[in-house]
Amino acid sequence: MPVNPETYSKTYGPFITETISSGEGSVNIDLDIDINEFPDIRNMTKIFDTMELWSMFSSGDEYFWVDATESSPRESACIARFQNRPDRVAVYCRERLTSETNGQKMINNPFVHPLDQLLMMYALAEREGAILHACAVELDGKGFLLPGRSGAGKTTISQLFAARGHKLLSDDRVVARKIKNEFYAFGTPWAGDAGIAENRKLPLKGIFFIRQSSGNRIEKIKPSAAAERLMPIASIPWFDEKTMSGVLSFCEDLILHVPAYELYFKPDTEVVDFLDKFISA
């Protein structure tokens, strides 16, 4: 059953393709969609619950993500079933998630937050990668991450670089991966307020943890300090020990091999030249 294109966020546009990727480091996940044929989760083990939005169950070596916006799991609009390395995912949807356009029955996009990011998090944990809460800017053909928690200034600094003509991969969430002993930054469709989401990758050459300040300065930090700052902005399934270990192992590898700094920046365009000169030097 085709997915109704009108139900995709506009930032998904650059990431939608009719071809299957076969490049180095590609992640392909087969998808099966069933309407109204729901698995019985009543005797499964609940491993996580947001109490409002979604919950996770496990049974044997399978996981079940359950939309929890209804009063009970049995009335959930959507359930996804997958394994630790999700090469194949079954998504069960209620009839109310379908629509008809020009006589053709379609399904509304079931891959909405957080299911899309959750599946990517599981896929990356087995493939030396992680989702990071960061913007990513291109300087001299290389990628540099500017991570920060909400409110740290990712949107502000993204707009400052964009205003000066610099290209960015994302203004809010990026994927970092290690492929053939090289680290890369990838754009994602999960844009922030600036709406920047590019389907490209760049060699990752530095991490600058951002903090707004009255002036611009950069301080090199040790891996231990980088780890302390990286943990809060990495997507880590703390409720799943095996997958958590994969993400943590990658994060350790990342901070040991990619230089990390703290970037204190004044929120005006001076920081663009300041960082550019620092990297060039």
CB 261, CB 208: distance < 8 Å:
yes
- Structure-token match 């180095």, residue found: 24
Q: And the tokens for 124?
A: 């990356």
Cα 23 to the chain's mean position, in Å?
Answer: 20
State the pLDDT at residue 26. Answer: 81
- Prediction pTM value: 0.92
CB-count exposure of residue 78 (10 Å: 0-12, 13-18, 19+)? buried
CA 52 to each of CA 91, 113, 156, 181, 244: distance values in angstroms, whole numbers, following the listed order: 20, 14, 31, 40, 23
Q: 96 phi and psi, to 5 degrees?
A: -70, -10
State the pLDDT at residue 149. Answer: 82
Which residues have CB under 8 Å from 161's CB, separation 6+?
137, 168, 272
Domain spans of the chain? 5-124, 128-280
Dist. CA 4–CA 2, nearest whole Å: 6
Residue 16: other Cβ atoms inside 10 A:
11
Please list the rounded mean pLDDT of every run of 10 residues in the chain (281 residues).
78 83 78 87 92 90 87 75 91 86 82 87 94 96 92 91 94 96 96 93 97 95 96 94 95 97 94 94 84
Which helix (H) or strand (E) segment holds residue 63: the answer is strand 62-67
**Closest to 235 (Cα-Cα) out of 248, 221, 254:** 248
State the pLDDT at residue 99. Answer: 81
State the pLDDT at residue 98. Answer: 85
CATH 3.40.50 fits 128-280, yes or no: yes
Rounded to 5°, angle at Cα 261 from 259 and 267: 135
CA 224 to each of CA 104, 122, 218, 234, 260: distance values in angstroms, whole numbers, following the listed order: 56, 25, 17, 15, 10
Report which DSSP code applies to 153.
Answer: S
Q: Is the dihedral of CA 185, 159, 12, 239 positive or negative?
A: positive
State the pLDDT at residue 229. Answer: 96
Give the residues across from 195 on adjacent strands: none
Dist. CA 145–CA 132, nearest whole Å: 9
CB 197, CB 255: distance < 8 Å:
no
